[in-house]
Amino acid sequence: MATDRPKRPHVIIVAAGTGDRFQKTAEQPTSTPKQYALIDDKPVLWHTIQAFNEIEVEAITVVLHPKDEHWSQFDFSGFKPPLQTCIGGNERHDSVRNGLLSIPDSDDTWVLVHDAARPCVSTAEIKALIQACQQQSKGGLLVKPCSDTIKKSRNGETVYKTINRDMLYAALTPQMFLRKDLLQALTLFEADSITDESSAIEAQGQHPIMVQGQTSNIKITTYEDLALARFILQQQGRIQ
């Protein structure tokens, strides 16, 4: 007897940031947000969308800044999943909420939320997260163990103490949750305590599962990160 397959998740790519730090570290003064910086003649955002091209997803929603002037300058056609855009808000959580509201309402709709500045996420990572969340019927996120020695400072100038890193993990994206749970969490949360989707879910008393991510899943923050991202994409065979 045939069994029902889990519904394909929706993807929300948050691309509404202005990237002030990236702009300040560029070789030449620039007003271009990092998601539109070029890697082999294509913007970072294109490579990020392309990372989901071989994943069975329902659709991809790209959340844009209200004053975005760059999206229309590039060709984002040709991807397998249907692609749509919506307008973001003042803060990340506002943008994610807008993205959630653009997706058809259903109690069993899963959503993958991903940073536009993480173009190097691998197909294997994404599939592992989807499988783990759907098998356990529980939301989760990609993480990696903290490998650096972590110092705590009270004044930003001297070390107060060293933090035990054995139980510390860095949160990556994508992060995957049921649409209804994440929308509720982003409606009820305390804004100052929310730094990602998982923390909004945690604030509701839930404990998201952690799925091992890869060190290559970097977030582009400064201009020099572009060279590293290009190298990783080459190693993955996604560019020449």
Task: Place 2 in a pLDDT band, splitting at 50, 70 and 90.
Answer: very low
- The closest alpha carbon to 212, from 140, 120, 149, 117, belongs to 140
The answer for residues whose C-beta is within 8 angstroms of residue 143's C-beta and 6 or more apart is 169, 170, 171, 172, 210, 211, 212, 213
The answer for residues whose C-beta is within 8 angstroms of residue 211's C-beta and 6 or more apart is 125, 128, 129, 132, 140, 141, 142, 143
H helices present in the chain, as ranges = 20-25, 44-50, 92-101, 123-136, 179-188, 197-202, 225-235
Mean pLDDT of 118-124: 98
Tokens encoding 84? 């749509």
Residue 190 has pLDDT above 70, yes or no: no
The CATH T-level fold of domain 10-141+171-235 is: Spore Coat Polysaccharide Biosynthesis Protein SpsA; Chain A (3.90.550)
Q: Residue 214 carries which side chain, given as an amino acid letter?
A: Q
Task: Place 4 in a pLDDT band, splitting at 50, 70 and 90.
Answer: low
Q: What are the two backbone dihedrals, phi and then psi, of residue 79, each rounded to the nearest 5 degrees?
A: -80, 150
The predicted pLDDT at position 105 comes to 83
At 161 the three-state DSSP class reads: strand
The predicted pLDDT at position 1 comes to 42
- CB count in 10 Å sphere of residue 199: 18
Tokens encoding 217? 């899943």
Residue 91 has pLDDT above 70, yes or no: yes
What confidence tens digit (pLDDT) does each residue in 145-180 have? 999 999 999 999 999 999 999 899 999 999 999 999
What confidence tens digit (pLDDT) does each residue in 200-218 have? 999 999 999 999 999 999 9
Task: Place 187 in a pLDDT band, splitting at 50, 70 and 90.
Answer: confident
Percentage of residues in the chain with pLDDT exceeding 70? 96
What confidence tens digit (pLDDT) does each residue in 31-77 have? 889 999 999 999 999 999 999 999 999 999 999 999 999 999 999 99
Q: Are 7 and 109 in contact (CB under 8 A)?
A: yes
Q: Which residue has the higher pLDDT, 180 or 191?
A: 180
Its pTM surpasses 0.75:
yes
DSSP 8: P
